[in-house]
Amino acid sequence: MSMRRLLLLLLAGSAAIFGQEPEGEGWLGSWHGAIKIGNGALDIVVRLVRTEDDAMAGSIDIPQQSAEDLELQNVRVTGDSVHFELHAPVGVAFFDGTRSEGLISGSFQQASFAGSFELTFGEPEAPDSWAGSLQIAGRTIASVLHFRAGEDGWQASLDIPAQGAFGLVLKEVALTADSVLFVLAAPQGDAVFHGTVEGDRMQGSFEQLGMEGGFSFERGGETPIVEDEEAVPYHVLEVEWDAAWDDVQLHLAGTLTLPPGDGPFPAVVLITGSGLQDRDETIFDFKIFKLIADTLTRRGIAVLRYDDPGIGGSTTNQPDLTTVELVEPVLAAVELLAEHAAVDPQAIGVCGHSEGGIIAPLAAVRRPEIAFCVLLSGPALPGETILRAQIELILRADGADEAEIARTLELQDSVYRALAAEDAVALELAVRQAIEEQWAEVSPERLEEIDDLEAYKEGMVQGQLQTVQGRWFRSFLSHDPASVLEQLSCPLLALFGEVDLQVPAEPNRLAMREALERAGHENFELRVLPQANHLFAPSATGSPSEYATMEKRFVEGFPELVADWILEQTKD
C-alpha cells in the first residue's frame, strides 16, 4: 500500500464537501462489488437515486456486517466521475471512482486505511456460502466461506466475525463436487486448507507454520452471530448532557457504568482519539473503550464514555472542532460525574487515547480538581512531528524503499511549510505535486478505466486542500503537548505500545519525561508495553494495515494495570 494515498490524512477526520450537480441517468440503480484493503475484501451494494429536488442520494449495504441501507453523504457525479461518503464511527469513508461500461472503479479512503473498490451495475447474485467453524488448539472459531464463479475460476473469501475479520481473500481456490482447496495468506505464514465435499457438507484440515487444525462447513448453514456478552455485574446507565461556549452548541450522549453498591466510587472520563469515534472507540469492530470500561468498572471504578460530537447520539453545530475545543465536552462530563450521588467528587480523573491523550492534560490543567490523568498512546511531541514520524514508520513497515520514504516526507514537508507561511499558492502546488506523484505509480490498465483523469485528480486535490486548511488540522499541526504537560500537577500514568507506529513510544516517552521533570512533577509513571500496537493489541509490526484482521484483544495485563493505578491514586 503506497503511503502517498494516505498523505495528510493519517490523523485527520475532516470530510470533503462537494456541490451536488447530478447529470445523466446512467448512474441510477443498484451497483454491487467490493472494497479491497490489503488482503481483505468487503462486499458492498450501493444504490443511487435522484431526490425530489433533483439532487443525487444513495445508500450502501454491507452484508458481511449485517448492515443495510446506510445513508451515503455528499453524493456527487460529474461526467464519468463519482464521489460519495459513508460517515461511520471509525471515521468518514471516502469513495472516488469513475464509470465505464457498467463498471465503477476507484479509490477508497477511511482514516489511515486506503484501498480500492469496484462495482458492477445490477443487483448481486447470491454467493455460494458455507457456514461452519475452524478448529485449532482446542478452540472452535465460527466462520463463513463465500465462493463465486469468476471468468478465471473460483473466487473465495473467509469471514471470522468474532475477530471482526470479513472478506479475507483466499487464493489458489479449487472447488469440485467432492473436494476443496484454498490458501489464506497471512503475515506470519500462509494457512493451507484441503478437504472433501459430500453434498452440502465440507470438512478437512489446514496447516500453518507447522500447526494443524480442522474445518467443517455446511452449505447455506446459519451464519454465526457473535453472541452478546454475559450480563455484567454492574449498573449500565445511558446519560446525556450539554456543553456550550461562544457560538458552539454540543449535546453529548454516553454510557455511565457504575460498580454495584452505593459508593461513592472513583470515576474516570474516557476521551477518544482523532476522527469521529463512537463511545466504545470502535476500530474495525475492536471496542476499545467498552473493554476498558468493563475492566475498570468490575474493579470498582465508575466510567463515563461518550460519542464524539457529530456521531451517534452526540450532536454539534461546529463539525470541525479543534483539539483544544474538544476539552469542553470533557469538562462538562466531569461536572456530570461530580453531581452523581454514587461518584466521589474528589476522585474523578480523565483517560485519553491517542489525540485524547493530548486533550486529557488540557482538561486537567483547566480543572485542577481533576484527581488523576491517564494517557494511552498520548503524544508529547508537536503534531507536525507526530505526523511525519508515523508516515516514515508505516511506510517502512509496509515495505517501501528508502527513496520512496524520502520523497514522500519531502512532499509532506512542503505542505507543512506552505501552511506555516499561509501561502495558498505554494500549498496548492505542493498538494498537486503529491497527487501527480501518486498517479505516476498507477498502472496503465487502471488509467485506461478513467475517462476523465484530470477531473478525477482535481477532485482529489480539492478534497486534500479542504482537509489541510481545516481548523482541526491546522491546530493539530502546531499544538505542542509538552507545554501543557509542564503545567500538570495531578498524578499521571502514561502507557505506550512498543510497536506503535502512530505515536512512536520512545521519542514520546522521552519528551514526556523531560517536560514533567522540567516542571518538577514527582508523581508520574511512564511505561512501554511489549509488543503492543497503537490500540494496545498484540502485534508483530504495529502497522495499521493489521487492524482489520488482528485478534480483537489487549496485550496481557493492559486494562488491569490502568485499574490498579487509578485505585492506588484514589484510595483513602
Q: What are residue 257's DSSP bridge partners? A: 236, 303
Domain 235-382+480-570: CATH superfamily is Alpha/Beta hydrolase fold, catalytic domain (3.40.50.1820)
Q: Is the pTM for the entire model greater than 0.85?
A: no
- Parallel, antiparallel or unpaired: strands 302-306 and 265-271: parallel
Low-confidence winner among 135-139, 318-322, 533-537, 556-560 (lowest mean pLDDT): 135-139
pLDDT at position 1 is 28
H or E, element range at 429 = helix 424-440
C-alpha distance across the termini of the chain, in Å: 52
Cell numbers at 500, concatenated: 506503535
pLDDT at position 63 is 74
**Spans of all domains in the chain:** 3-121, 128-219, 235-382+480-570, 385-475
Question: In angstroms, how far is CA 554 from the centroid of its own chain?
Answer: 16
User: Within 10 A of 96 (CB to CB), how many other CB atoms are there?
Assistant: 21
Find, among 439, 426, 311, the residue nearest to 7 by Cα: 439
3-class DSSP state of 216:
strand
Within 25-127, strands assigned E span 29-37, 40-50, 56-62, 67-71, 73-78, 81-88, 91-100, 103-110, 113-121
Cell numbers at 224, concatenated: 454465526
- For range 389-397, the mean pLDDT: 86
Given a cut of 80, whether residue 403 has pLDDT beyond it is yes
Class of domain 128-219: mainly beta
- From CA 16, how far away is CA 473, in angstroms rounded? 13
Average pLDDT, the chain: 84
pLDDT at position 5 is 29
Common-topology check for domains 128-219 and 235-382+480-570: no
User: Within 10 A of 145 (CB to CB), how many other CB atoms are there?
Assistant: 24
For the chain, what percent of residues have pLDDT higher than 90? 37
Cell numbers at 35, concatenated: 472494497
pLDDT at position 320 is 81
pLDDT at position 188 is 55
Cell numbers at 19, concatenated: 456541490
Say whether domain 3-121 belongs to CATH 3.40.190.170: no
pLDDT at position 279 is 92
- For range 102-116, the mean pLDDT: 79
The larger pLDDT score, comparing residue 351 to residue 432, is at 351
pLDDT at position 17 is 26
Amino acid found at 340: H
Given a cut of 60, whether residue 302 has pLDDT beyond it is yes
Given a cut of 70, whether residue 469 has pLDDT beyond it is yes
Residue range 427-443, pLDDT digits in tens = 888 888 887 877 777 77
- The dihedrals phi and psi of 139, each to the nearest 5 degrees, come to -105, 145
The larger pLDDT score, comparing residue 250 to residue 220, is at 250
Residue range 212-233, pLDDT digits in tens = 888 999 987 655 544 444 578 8
Q: What are residue 91's DSSP bridge partners? A: 88
- From CA 62, how far away is CA 90, in angstroms rounded? 15
pLDDT at position 438 is 73
